[in-house]
Structure 1
Amino acid sequence: MLNYEQAIKDGIEALDKGDELTVTLLHDLHETLLTGVPDHRVDTDTIGAYKTTPNHLGDYLPAVPDAVDGLMDALLTYYRTGGSYHDLVDIAMFHYQFETIHPYGDGNGRLGRLLITLQLHDTGYLERPNLYLSEYFNRNKATYVDRMEAVRTRGDWEAWLSFFIEGVAQQAEESVTRTLALDDLRHHYEDEYGGVQYTKHQLACNLFEQPYVTTKTVADMFDVERSTAYRAITELEAEGVLEEVTGTGRTNEYRAKEIFEILEQPPQTY
């Protein structure tokens, strides 16, 4: 998850400073997403570059490696030149085409979903990256696959576009609900922990900007000893603010428990 958050941050920073969606940016994001991921979760040796061997999606054979450069150049040029339709339609078409090309050896799904968020930000629909279609796609995975396949086999664009845009609408409504809940939690943390310079208090108030932490990241963030950072983490864990998610001992990774309870709560609007 830290990789995904960093890739989102890097992508938005690049777009905000005037960079465009280019092959170089995609490669950089792909490298960020897959670097340091355990070997059993990465099915390619080619990270930060297009695939060099063919891959498969069930019975479907995506573009062969030699065709990827040309297809991706055409897709990125289409997007950068403004497309031909409404922005949401163009983003939906881009996502379909990206996943159909399947340009990387692994990580296409993760990068493809991340690109939706970046494009929604780039076209002015998101001020902050707080709308993730991954949840909608995962919850409706069978329909997602069926609608994509229907475009490939029957040219049924209407069903795919309707599915995609409905997802944007539903996630936007849910995002508003969750944003209000997060604002309430932020105010609670500010009342509970704000105004005190102890590392624990500073960390609690900073979790909305960095919801995943380790002893090292906390030590670096507040320029304190690792023992101090570890004590702050364990105290917040005991208070139900943090929860351990992976690792052993002081290499553990922790996440903001109450924040993710809001982010991961079952949809309320549909």
Structure 2
Amino acid sequence: MAKTGLKKLPISVGMKDALKILSVLSTVSNKLGRLEEKFNHSVVSDALVQILSLSESVESTRIEGTQVTFSDMVEEKNDKNPRWEIIEVSNYQKALEDGFERIRIGYPISSKLIKELHQILMQGARGSTQATGSFRKIQNFIGPTKNIEDASYIPVSAETIDDYMQNLEYFINGHPYNNMLPITHLNDDGYIFDENSDPLIKAAILHAQFESIHPFFDGNGRLGRILIVLYLMQTKLITKPIFFVSEELEKEKARYYNLLNGVRGQKPDWGSWIFFFLNACDRMAERINNKLDKAEELARKGLTMCETESERKAWLVTFSDPFTNSSNVAKLARISPNTARKVLNALAEKDLLFVDTEMKRNRKYRNYDLMRILRD
């Protein structure tokens, strides 16, 4: 039988769950702090911001069933007639980057911003025939088939979406008059996670609540995962878009969906969901820390082999564009096309890049060592 009903925020968990959550929280926070510090002193930090956001875009769309790999995206992202899977991933990355920029200049997460990002996300993609950038006007449901009888969850009615979204906004940003959200719907003996809670815990809660409101016909999952990193940036837990959790969520997709469904209905289990989310963040923070260490080592090793400033510039460009060409390098490194060709060939001769020498035109220069690090 489908779950129905959704309690508003804030939430509460049992004391036993609260202790588990707070225990793992400190570990994750320390790893994120270490990651932030490394990025501030890395020669490839700005380049990796772009490539990590591309990786997140791939993993998040894969959760929704898009069969495209990170290597596919790197290889095909500049195709003039991309297939729909590439369009969906590209849209996700555009929405991410647009959201980053809005948060950076001081826009808060709001229904207005969410609707604008939804429009970018759905441009020319699957499901885009439904009203993009607008909350749904009729009932929808979540389930394995197109029949509501098979639904695992029936979200809130269309006429209550604005009310639930306002509650979510107040939880994210605080009430405009500094009023605390009411807690009369919570158990008296629970541990309350309210709008003053740690940003990582709030990120877990806001993601699950957004997914449960399910305000759009399509794209809710992808947009909900974008909100995780935007919120972490808004709270200054991270200052650059370097931390994404979709890769870990995709690995345990069935559990992810099951625990999300667990926070719905009249007896929500928030403790299990938050604990799962924080553990996924912990594993992801470890992975990104390791990736950054290896990428930094590779970059510095390559720089010692570069003989000119143009070579050094071209080498670092490949950390944001691992399968590149001379015109991209000329533009990004601000060197002439002729110089770009020469230095890329020089980097290939040093075995820093691979190029198919049988190709006489439109050669691609591939940083396979970086790709191996990113895929590990």
Structure 2: distance between partners of 1:101 and 1:253:
45
Are 1:17 and 2:105 matched, yes or no? yes
Q: What amino acid maps onto 1:121 in structure 2?
A: M
Partner of residue 69, structure 1:
162
Task: Check whether the contact 2:108–2:234 (CA below 8 A) recurs between aligned residues.
Answer: no
Alignment of structure 1 residues 53-202 onto 2, 5 Å: 53-58=138-143, 59=151, 60-81=153-174, 83-153=195-265, 154-193=267-306, 195-197=308-310, 202=313
Structure 2: distance between partners of 1:24 and 1:220:
35
Partner of residue 35, structure 1:
123
Structure 1: distance between partners of 2:117 and 2:346:
34
Task: Check whether the contact 1:53–1:105 (CA below 8 A) recurs between aligned residues.
Answer: no
Task: Check whether the contact 2:317–2:332 (CA below 8 A) recurs between aligned residues.
Answer: no
Structure 1: distance between partners of 2:231 and 2:224:
11
Moved over 4 A (4+): 210-220, 222-243, 252-257
Alignment CA distance shift 1:136-1:97 (3 Å): same
Partner of residue 94, structure 2:
6
Q: 1:200-259 CA deviation, whole Å, 9 max, x = no partner?
A: x6444123345576887556546789899899989989968479xxxxx97x99986443
Alignment CA distance shift 1:49-1:216 (3 Å): farther
Q: What amino acid maps onto 2:316 in structure 1?
A: C
Task: Check whether the contact 1:52–1:105 (CA below 8 A) recurs between aligned residues.
Answer: no
Task: Check whether the contact 2:229–2:243 (CA below 8 A) recurs between aligned residues.
Answer: yes
Task: Check whether the contact 1:233–1:242 (CA below 8 A) recurs between aligned residues.
Answer: no
Task: Check whether the contact 2:314–2:340 (CA below 8 A) recurs between aligned residues.
Answer: no
Q: What amino acid maps onto 1:78 in structure 2?
A: F
Task: Check whether the contact 2:310–2:335 (CA below 8 A) recurs between aligned residues.
Answer: no
User: SS state of the match for residue 197, structure 1?
Assistant: helix
Partner of residue 372, structure 2:
261
Structure 2: distance between partners of 1:48 and 1:229:
41
Task: Check whether the contact 2:122–2:128 (CA below 8 A) recurs between aligned residues.
Answer: no
How far residue 112 of structure 1 moved from its aligned partner, in angstroms, is 1.2
User: Structure 1 unaligned runs (5+)?
Assistant: 244-248, 266-270
Task: Name the count of aligned residue pairs.
Answer: 254
Scaled by the length of structure 2, the TM-score of the pair is 0.56
Alignment CA distance shift 1:190-1:224 (3 Å): closer
How far residue 55 of structure 1 moved from its aligned partner, in angstroms, is 3.4
Q: What amino acid maps onto 2:288 in structure 1?
A: S
Scaled by the length of structure 1, the TM-score of the pair is 0.75
Which has more radius of gyration?
2
Q: What amino acid maps onto 2:199 in structure 1?
A: D
